[in-house]
Amino acid sequence: MDVFSNQRKAKKTCVVTGGAGFLGSHLTDRLLAAGHRVIAIDNLLTGNVRNIEHLAGNADYRFIEHDVTNFIYLPGEVDFVFHFASPASPFDYLEFPIPTLKVGALGTHNTLGLAKAKGASFLIASTSEVYGDPLIHPQKEDYWGNVNPIGPRGVYDEAKRFAEAMTMAYHRFHRLDTKIVRIFNTYGPRMRLEDGRVVPAFIGQALNEEPLTVFGDGSQTRSFCYVSDLIEGIFRLSTADTHEPVNIGNPSEMTIKQFGEAIIEKTGASSQMVFKELPEDDPRVRQPDITRARAVLGWEPIVGFDEGIAKTISYFKTFLGMEEQA
Ligand code: UDP
């Protein structure tokens, strides 16, 4: 039985690593809204205190600046550990290859060790990158993937594959209650404008009336999920009785060129697209098969592309000082 469904104690203490990041901060908000306590841990390598400043003074919230590749000392009870710390954009893991490998490997070992010592449940943020440049489309959880271990993206992909293996080993050997979410491309407020990912890159370029930098010919595809949908799926997974990986993402797929056209239209920018070299090992296609999430979690995305993108553009306009957020 997982700790959230143990009704003896309604208010749980949750550790969220990467708590000042895009997803970690949204997950924190969801856990606090559900009445839980959150201890966020982040070394602020790619996270930012701006994402958590609204939580200052919240009695149920505590922030610890710490690198979880080092031993984590936490006194007191912990009911749940969510391991979300990692650089997560291709730009970031090219800039920080060794910290990316370390947080996926040593950080996962330390956070699993913390969960074991506290008798807590554990959820790891894994990724669609475990499928690499996939030869099966859309991607189902039973696909083993097509990853180049020594390519530039290998530092992220292999760290997450190791993290999944380590998590299953703790589940099987130590009988830890563990969950694995494979997160597909997600967007929304609190992404970093300069993190290099296509959503902030194109929106930032369009808002500044600059050319949109399309890598390759733009025929590669991605499927974009709005952050509130993703967080709801993860929240449900945390209480579900399943230890197998679960894909969470939005199956609506488009080419990067179509995505660029949509951003130009929705921002009203006069930007053109410029075509740059395709990064090495950039996956040609990506779309989650969410049959398992539907069956096990009763979950599917509900925020459409138009609504999600409008909210995201509004966030970046505010961030750039262009207008107040609606
Ligand atoms: N991309 C692009 N221009 C950019 C940034 C990204 O064309 O300025 C492309 C990138 O090559 C990839 C897709 O957009 O095919 C999504 O890239 P992102 O970095 O968002 O994440 P990925 O899905 O590759 O992890």
Q: What tens digit of pLDDT does each residue of 58-116 get? A: 999 999 999 999 999 999 999 999 999 999 999 999 999 999 999 999 999 999 999 99
Which residue's alpha carbon is at the smallest distance from atom 24 of ligand 1? 282
Label the pairing between strands 253-255 and 221-223. antiparallel
Say how many Å lie between the CA of residue 222 and the centre of ligand 1: 8
Give residue ranges with CB within 6 A of ligand 1.
89-90, 185, 196-198, 201, 213-215, 220, 222, 256, 279, 282
Banded model confidence at residue 134, pLDDT cuts 50, 70, 90: very high
pTM, two decimals, is 0.96
Residues 6+ apart with CB under 8 A from 265: none
Would residue 299 count as lying in a domain? no
Would residue 7 count as lying in a domain? no
Banded model confidence at residue 1, pLDDT cuts 50, 70, 90: very low
What is the dihedral angle through the alpha carbons of 148, 146, 93, 184, rounded to the nearest 10 degrees?
180
Q: How far apart are CA 129 and CA 152, in angstroms?
A: 12
Say how many Å lie between the CA of residue 295 and the centre of ligand 1: 30
Specify the CATH number for the domain of residue 109: 3.40.50.720
pLDDT at 9: 76
Domain count along the chain: 1
Which residue's alpha carbon is at the smallest distance from atom 19 of ligand 1? 197
Label the pairing between strands 225-226 and 37-42. unpaired
- For ligand 1, mutation pick of 94, 222, 225 (most atoms within 8 Å of CB): 222
State what percent of residues in the chain have pLDDT above 70: 96
Range of the domain at 101: 13-187+227-248
Would residue 264 count as lying in a domain? no
User: What's the one-letter identity of residue 20?
Assistant: A
* 3 pLDDT more than 90: no
Would residue 109 count as lying in a domain? yes
Would residue 199 count as lying in a domain? no
pLDDT at 324: 52
Atom of ligand 1 nearest to the CA of 89: 19
Say how many Å lie between the CA of residue 198 and the centre of ligand 1: 5
Banded model confidence at residue 318, pLDDT cuts 50, 70, 90: very high
Would residue 321 count as lying in a domain? no
Would residue 148 count as lying in a domain? yes
Would residue 170 count as lying in a domain? yes
Is 315 assigned a catalytic role?
no
> Average per-residue pLDDT in the chain?
96
Catalytic residue among 131, 156, 187, 315: 156
